[in-house]
Amino acid sequence: MAESSRIEEIEARFNSIIEEYGKFLRQAIIQVCPKDLGLQFNDIEQEARVRLWRALQNEREIQDPASYLYKIAVTTTLDAIRRVKTRREDQLLSVGEQDEGVDPRQATMIDPAQTPEQAARRQQLLRKVKAALARLPENRRRALGLYLAGMTTQEIAELLGWTEPKARNLVYRGLKDLRAQLKAEGIDYEID
Amino acid sequence: MKLTSDELKSLYQEETSRSALRRNECLTAEEMMRAATGKLSAAERERVTDHLPRCSDCTQEFRLAHELKPWAESVAEPGRSAPAMRLFAAGSQTGFNSQPGARQHWSAIFMRNFGFGLPIAVLFISLALGLWSISWRRERGRSTDGLKEQLKKQNETITRNNELLAEAQRQADEANRRAEQYQRQVVELNRAIEKLSQAPSTISGEMNVPPPLVPGEPNVPIVDLEPDNVSRGSGDTMARVKLPAGNHLFILILHVDGRPSYPGFSLEVLDARGQRIWKAQEPRQNQDNTFTVALSRRAFPAGQYEIELRGLRAGKSELIGDYKLRIDY
């Protein structure tokens, strides 16, 4: 009896949160979810709702439902993205392992459209870039690494607790150092 | 060789993409969330900022989570509806706004194209929205039912797993109990072994080596023992046996009252705690109504002993004599 009334209470809370924030949950998932991975928004949304239900069932105190749903939306989507990527990568790895003498990690990176010469040149270029990066001072290397990995200077600043001009300055100086070092290696790198 | 900024980025991101070999180093979704919302501890921030430049996949995921941060903040604020809805609507602009003059503009379009004004259009739209709302609620009801069903199944699985876990726990407890029992037995055995290993040195006393095997031994002490239940004289019935250093054997003559008649006899030597330490094989009654027994110094360290002599008949034993003695070396 007490159990059924508890479930009813959870259901009421669940419905109330979904009533108010359901649209935002879905919209958050749609915004976070990459479109090119073949992920189903409905599946992710369903999984996110299950997580919310479990949180309520475990009597977790949800003081700020919006933030909580944001968190659920992001973590559920990231988990789904990782599952898909892992599956693809594992398939590639299993193919790579069948081919004796090929490093599975390298096998996932080699573009089949490249000629052996292009691939070799690319590997050489990579080695030089990595060596040049390794020689940079700590802060420049960190800022430049994040920049090259795809972050904006604003995002770098927020992550590292710097001001945006400081992040921008360090990225710029890092790029300049990198350019000088690559030029010494015979690579003409143009800073935009 | 020429390299543009985009090419460099692309090269770097491919090189640092997540691979199976480094997958376990990546940030968890939870860590990613905390990083995106700026809620990391100093140590966590160190790890995150160390990892992100080396993993373009995590960086991409971080950016996705980070982009939504302003949205979450706007939803959480008291006057949240406007900015949140603006963002919500950003992906699917309807083009229907409430700027001054817009109403007349749309009304004119409706009049020109359909022959009725804005109020009628609003009425139609309201009706359509009402129907859509009913349909949406039904759909939501079905979705909730599906969700409930899924949760039910998951709960059943959890219950089954809990039962299996409880069974495994019970078996583990049982195994632990047995292990403790074996442990105790091992400790007791070790004690017994230790005691046994000390016994010869105690018995051989100062010599500290086992006595040599000799065909015979002269001057063997012979001690007469009267049964305890027929003590005579002072009442102190404890016989004392003092063995000279060169002797390894001593003989006890056990006297009995009357002439007991039994088909068989048993003789047991007990230590001071009443534990049996030796039982004689088929002792026989002598002509003079006594029993004799030779004991080895090695087997009986100095101390107090009790000898029980019993008569055996029809599977029952009766005490004939109880003898107490103290052995000193």
Domains and CATH numbers, chain A: 2-86 (1.10.1740.10), 114-184 (1.10.10.10)
Q: Are residues B229 and B319 in the same domain?
A: yes
Q: Are residues B81 and B111 in the same domain?
A: no
Instruction: Assess if residue B208 is contained within a domain.
Output: no
Instruction: Assess if residue B310 is contained within a domain.
Output: yes
DSSP-derived 3-state class of residue A143: helix
Suggest the residue from A15, A70, A87 to mutate for an interface test with chain B (most B CBs closer than 10 A): A70
Q: Are residues B226 and B319 in the same domain?
A: yes
Give me the helix-helix angle, A164-184 and A153-160, nearest 10°. 110
User: CA B115, B116, B119 angle in degrees (round to 5)?
Assistant: 165
Give residue B117's pLDDT: 62
Q: Are residues B252 and B320 in the same domain?
A: yes
Instruction: Assess if residue B215 is contained within a domain.
Output: no
The domain boundary residue, chosen from B163, B184, B205: B184
Instruction: Assess if residue B189 is contained within a domain.
Output: no
Instruction: Assess if residue B83 is contained within a domain.
Output: yes
- In chain B, the number of structural domains is 3
Give residue B85's pLDDT: 41
Residue B224 contacts by C-beta under 8 Å, 6 or more apart in sequence? B252, B253, B255
The domain boundary residue, chosen from B40, B63, B92: B92
The domain boundary residue, chosen from B32, B59, B92: B92
pLDDT tens digit string along B200-256? Answer: 544 444 445 555 566 788 888 898 888 875 544 445 568 888 888 888 888 999 998
Phi, psi (degrees; rounded to nearest 5) at A12: -65, -45
Instruction: Assess if residue B67 is contained within a domain.
Output: yes
Give residue A192's pLDDT: 61
**Cβ-contact B293, B283 below 8 angstroms:** yes
Q: Which of residues 72-91 of A touch B (CB under 8 A)?
A: 73-79, 81-82, 85-86, 89-90
Rounded to the nearest angstrom, the minimum Cα separation between A49 and chain B is 8
Closest C-alpha among A155, A46, A60 to residue B68: A155
- pLDDT band at residue B298 using 50, 70 and 90 as cut-offs: confident
Q: Are residues B76 and B32 in the same domain?
A: yes
Q: Which residues of B touch A102 (CB under 8 A)?
A: none
* Domain hosting residue B113, numbered range: 106-184
For the ranges A154-158, B53-57, B107-111, the lowest mean pLDDT is seen at B107-111
pLDDT tens digit string along B153-195? Answer: 888 888 888 888 888 888 888 888 888 888 888 888 888 888 7
CATH number at residue B313: 2.60.40.10
Q: Are residues B176 and B253 in the same domain?
A: no
Give me the helix-helix angle, B102-114 and B118-204, nearest 10°. 110
Rounded to the nearest angstrom, the minimum Cα separation between B172 and chain A is 28
Q: Are residues B232 and B298 in the same domain?
A: yes
Q: Which residue of B has its CA nearest to A23?
A: B88
- The verdict on a CB contact (< 8 Å) between A32 and B75 is no
Q: Are residues B233 and B312 in the same domain?
A: yes
Give residue B79's pLDDT: 47
pLDDT over threshold 70, residue B5: yes
Suggest the residue from B7, B39, B58, B62 to mutate for an interface test with chain A (most A CBs closer than 10 A): B62
Q: Are residues B135 and B63 in the same domain?
A: no
Instruction: Assess if residue B203 is contained within a domain.
Output: no
pLDDT tens digit string along A72-121? Answer: 888 888 888 888 877 776 666 665 555 555 554 454 455 556 677 777 88
Provide the token pair at B261.
């008649």
* Residue B56 exposed, middle or buried by CB count within 10 Å (0-12, 13-18, 19+): buried
Pairing of strands B222-225, B303-313: unpaired
Q: Are residues B38 and B131 in the same domain?
A: no
Instruction: Assess if residue B205 is contained within a domain.
Output: no
